[in-house]
Each structure stands twice: as C-alpha cells, then as structure tokens.
C-alpha cells in the first residue's frame, strides 16, 4: 500500500515522532507506513487521515483498487 503521509507531513511541518504521538503509535509505525511496509488498521488509517483533514482514500492508495480501475473488466 502506498501513502501520501510523507508529503502531507512535510506540508504540515510535522516530524514522524509528532505524527506518531498524535495518532497513538510508535514512530517506527509511521516509518513503515511511509515505506509501504505496513497496512494500518481502519482506526489508524482514519486517525492519520483526520490529522491532515483528508479522507482515508486521499492519504492511502490501495494498490488492488488501482489495478481494478485500470482494467477493462
């Protein structure tokens, strides 16, 4: 799963640690989210999106949905 967290954090001038504290996770979780190595729970995805005043699908890009959108089926 890809995310726009790093870009959104930069816009808001937030560190990974600050974002982690805001959503109640460890900094490493934010690192893994940004690297696409961790799929968040719905609650975490919601909390991250709320920090940036965005919808979940504006922050997280689900790769399966990209494939469906691009298919002719």
pLDDT in tens, the chain (73 residues): 899 999 999 999 999 999 999 999 999 999 999 999 999 999 999 999 999 999 999 999 987 644 555 544 4
Residue 39 contacts residue 4 (beta carbons within 8 Å): no
Pick the CATH number of 2-70 from 1.10.8.60, 3.10.105.10, 3.40.190.10, 1.10.260.40: 1.10.260.40
pTM score of the predicted model: 0.83
Residue 56 contacts residue 45 (beta carbons within 8 Å): yes
């Amino acid at each position: 799963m890809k995310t726009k967290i790093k870009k959104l954090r930069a816009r808001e001038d937030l560190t990974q640690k600050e974002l982690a504290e805001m959503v109640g996770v460890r900094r490493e979780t934010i690192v893994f989210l940004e690297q696409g190595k961790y799929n968040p729970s719905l609650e975490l995805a919601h909390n991250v999106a709320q920090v940036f005043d965005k919808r979940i699908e504006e922050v997280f890009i689900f790769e399966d949905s990209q494939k469906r959108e691009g298919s002719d089926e």
